[in-house]
Amino acid sequence: MSGGVDSSLAAALLKKEGYEVIGVTFRMWPREECGASVGRACCNLEAVTRARAVAENLSMPYYVFDFSEEFKKQVIDYFCEQYLKGLTPNPCVVCNEKIKFGLLHEKALSLDADLIATGHYARLGFNKKTGRHILKVGKGGGKDQTYFLFSLSQGQLSHAVFPLADYTKEKTRALAKKLKLTTFDTVSSQDICFIQDSDYAGYIRKKTGVTIKPGEIVDKDGKVLGLHKGIPYYTIGQRRGLGIAHSEPLYVIAIDRKSNRIIVGAKKDVLKKSLIADNLNWIAVDGITAPLKVKAKIRYNHKEALALITPVGPDKVRVDFDVPQEAPTPGQAVVFYDKDIVVGGGWIKEVL
């Protein structure tokens, strides 16, 4: 329970269906950092107070688990390391896999719980023919969150429950208000929960002590156009904040960590047709041994696009899009779909 409307309604719906429900909130930061201003929509004292109030209203036990040490190792350290390597990480995917459906499962067993429920907008199913648990796009339209859940294992999916599978966000708020849940109008989190002001580079500098060095901004031919503030300030496809006057808009098209250079180009230069993905997780199938036609999604807010995925090595596929896609980014997840079913996904290693 994050203290938001989604998890609050999920708990209420399960109670209504007759489940014995236990509310849990994670403390993601050391106690001295968990002030009211820490975190955008979850884990801070205000969020814990809201979640506890909902639990009391629903007459259910409620616990706060201190996962701050594990969260730092599994999520924050990963986030910082990836940015310092010139990659663009996705901590929400890692948090779901390692914390919400990983570490929490161990804690759930200690409470004699059988299932883990969250407020994600996604559906679950089971394919009797293949004997595999499947993950499907939520029926609520634009709020589908399967992209963030692609790395869950069969074991994790077998213990998961998504009560909001068939809901829209609007329906969720309306029902929460009808049920008199005090969280019905809470603001949804729009960014990474552990960073307050979108200052990723400042956060990384504070957490790691690493000196972020400025360097050159160059075009595709290596011509120096200006200076950048440090690699963690930039990501592929970025247009704003480059500080360069040019005859046409410029975009970040590559990051060269070794030479500490940001490479820029025109809009057409961020359109790419192929990429390599590794660290794969398959959900609907055991794996693939031949090319497979899918729809692929390279970012959460990115529209799925037709693509052919081809195995090119152990735990590695090549993804060839029918139409070039804007700014596929190393470090981000790419998720594969067959209609409304998540086939699997992986992490973008290289853009070709």
The contacts found for 204-212 with CB under 8 angstroms, 24 or more apart, are 204/79, 204/80, 204/83, 204/84, 204/232, 207/76, 207/80, 208/80, 208/84, 210/84
From 43, 80, 92, 193, the catalytic residue: 193
The stretches of the chain forming alpha helices (DSSP H) are 5-16, 45-57, 68-71, 77-84, 91-95, 104-110, 154-158, 169-178, 200-208
* Angstrom distances, CA of residue 115 to CA of 56, 58, 123: 21, 18, 15
338, 135 in Cβ contact below 8 A? no
User: Other CB atoms closer than 10 Å to residue 262's CB: what's the count?
Assistant: 25
- Rounded to 5 degrees, what are φ and ψ at 5? -70, -35
43 among known catalytic residues: no
User: Other CB atoms closer than 10 Å to residue 327's CB: what's the count?
Assistant: 23
From 42, 43, 80, 95, the catalytic residue: 95
319, 334 in Cβ contact below 8 A? yes
Taken in order 317, 323, 324, 330, the sign of the CA dihedral is: negative
The residue to which tokens 């309306």 are assigned? 174
The contacts found for 244-252 with CB under 8 angstroms, 24 or more apart, are 244/217, 250/225, 251/327
277, 347 in Cβ contact below 8 A? yes
Residue 145 CA to residue 120 CA, distance in Å, equals 6
34 among known catalytic residues: no
- DSSP element (H, E) containing 307: strand 305-313
* Angstrom distances, CA of residue 282 to CA of 75, 135, 149: 22, 11, 12
* Residues catalogued as catalytic: 95, 193
